[in-house]
Amino acid sequence: MQFARFLVVGAANTAASYVIYLLLLLVVDYRVAYTVAYVAGLAGGYLMHARFVFGARPGARSAASYLVTYAAMYLVSFLVLYVAVDRLSVPKPLGMLAALAFTVPASFILLRWGFRPPPDSGETPMTKVEDAKPAVRATGSCLCGAVRYEVTGPLRDVVECHCAMCRKTHGHIGAYTATPKVALGIVEARGLKWYQSSAHARRGFCGECGGSVFFDPVQKDYMAIAAGTLDSPTGLKTVVQIHVASASDYYRIDDSIPQRLD
């Protein structure tokens, strides 16, 4: 299924690049037209491949790998284009298609390697549900369903957070469970948006209904999930309260639940 997503993203980029190529053929040499079209295709391709194909976060390492891969594929495809047009007399409008027939599968193999997490980095890309089908432990969603997820691994018991950022995010205290990122599958991401709330974490919410769903400590291997978004029964219990020193004055802290000041 990953290769299918690669083809969809590639098809969109290729279609746009091919239109640019055909338009430029009207005014410049085919070699210049191809080069400009190729660079234009790179512009949006990196982010789309990272987000929709390989489930990786953009970074310097993957960006460098992406540019090196496509630089190499450009040289190879330019050679194929030259042979097809100048040596085999293939019509110029079809020359680019001949080059793509060779470079598309080669690019997928190299990019899959380039977008993999570095060893011992603690970074694991979120998996799409269709890539693996272990038993589903839990499901959940935002209010409108534009963000839906499945959990196929363990769920931590609930931690309540009284910090000001959680209160301003949820309208009250935060209540989070958590699971390894490799165990979280995004079933519906149509409404999923991210807000970088600090240098160390981002918060996932629905752009359609506004529901807060995820808390992502970007350097960690787990994803915190707003417990209220889980479908019942959850089988979880609240085990600790944190940042109680930051609690507001309009409510009482439950003394029956263990507390931490930080």
Q: Look over the chain and give the mean of its residue pLDDT values, rounded to a whole number.
A: 85
Determine the pLDDT at residue 106.
Answer: 78
Rounded CA-CA distance 234/136 in Å is 12
pTM comes to: 0.51
Of all residues in the chain, the percent with pLDDT exceeding 70 is 90
Determine the pLDDT at residue 120.
Answer: 47
Give the start-to-end residue ranges of the domains of the chain: 2-114, 128-246
Of all residues in the chain, the percent with pLDDT exceeding 90 is 49
How large is the C-alpha radius of gyration of the chain? 24
Mean pLDDT of 187-196: 95
Cα–Cα distances in Å, from 39 out to 23, 94, 198, 242?
15, 19, 34, 50
Q: Which fold has domain 128-246?
A: 2.170.150
Phi, psi at 144, each rounded to 5°? -95, -10
Crossing angle of helices 92-114 and 30-48, rounded to 10°: 30
Determine the pLDDT at residue 133.
Answer: 64
C-alpha of 86 from chain center: 41
Mean pLDDT of 46-52: 73
Cα–Cα distances in Å, from 89 out to 35, 79, 137, 181, 230?
20, 14, 59, 52, 61
Statement: residue 129 has pLDDT above 50: no
Determine the pLDDT at residue 55.
Answer: 64
Statement: residue 118 has pLDDT above 60: no
